[in-house]
Amino acid sequence: MTEGQNLTADRDLAARLALWLGFGPVVMGMVNNIPTIPGLDALVERITGSANVSIRKFSYYYIHPLAFMWMMSIVALHHAFVRGKTGVALTLGLGMDAALVVMAAAVATTYLVEIDSVCLVDQFTGERAELIAKSLKEEQEFAKLYGLPVPDSVEDPQCLNTTGTWLFAIVGLAIAVFLAYNVKV
């Protein structure tokens, strides 16, 4: 095979892989929107052995960053800067492709760290459970004091550990990388 044929074969393989990976978000979206079918939840519970497995109506705060990461990986694979380059251009192209995937992961992780429904760092440190328990106790005391119905849950409290001022750097760098990649696409 000549170098041109190798390049074409690599491009075809990457395009086929991107196409097949593209079916993932489609299937995920279809499963997420399955209507309620009698017995479906019981079947999944029986198969998996867990009542906590959900096959539809996924929590958006987990599914959105996953779908975003997946889609950005497909874009990096399908529109790779590295394809057909040699020498310094190959190194720079590989850097841009890696930067896109890394920034997508950084944005998705930052989302999970910052959103009050998840507070990823607080969950790892155990502070999340303490915050919820404290908020619930305060709400129950308030309800008892004023003769209101006693709540059994509370809204999500704000996260203690976030990215802080690093959020601006993460977003700024992500915008720069995404716009630079946009030129290629």
| Model pLDDT, residue 37 | 82
Chain centroid offset of residue 129 CA:
22
- Phi-psi domain of 164 (left: phi exceeds 0; alpha: psi -120 through 50; beta: other): left
In the predicted model, what is the mean pLDDT of the chain? 87
What are the backbone angles phi and psi of residue 2, rounded to the nearest 5°?
Answer: -85, 170
Asked if 161 contacts 122 with a C-beta cutoff of 8 angstroms, the reply is: yes
**Residue 10 pLDDT:** 62
Q: Please state the domain extents for the chain.
A: 3-119+161-184
pLDDT band at 102 (very low <50, low <70, confident <90, very high): very high
pTM of the predicted model as reported, rounded to 2 decimal places? 0.79
- Which phi-psi region, left, alpha or beta, contains residue 121 (left: φ > 0; alpha: ψ -120 to 50)? alpha
Query: What band does 9 get if pLDDT is binned at 50, 70 and 90?
Result: low
Structure confidence at residue 6 (pLDDT): 59
Q: How confident is the model at residue 40 (pLDDT cuts 50, 70, 90)?
A: confident
d(CA 106, CA 116): 18
CA–CA dist 40, 172 (Å, integer): 44
Q: HSE on the CB side for 38, CA within 13 Å?
A: 0
DSSP structural state of residue 147? T
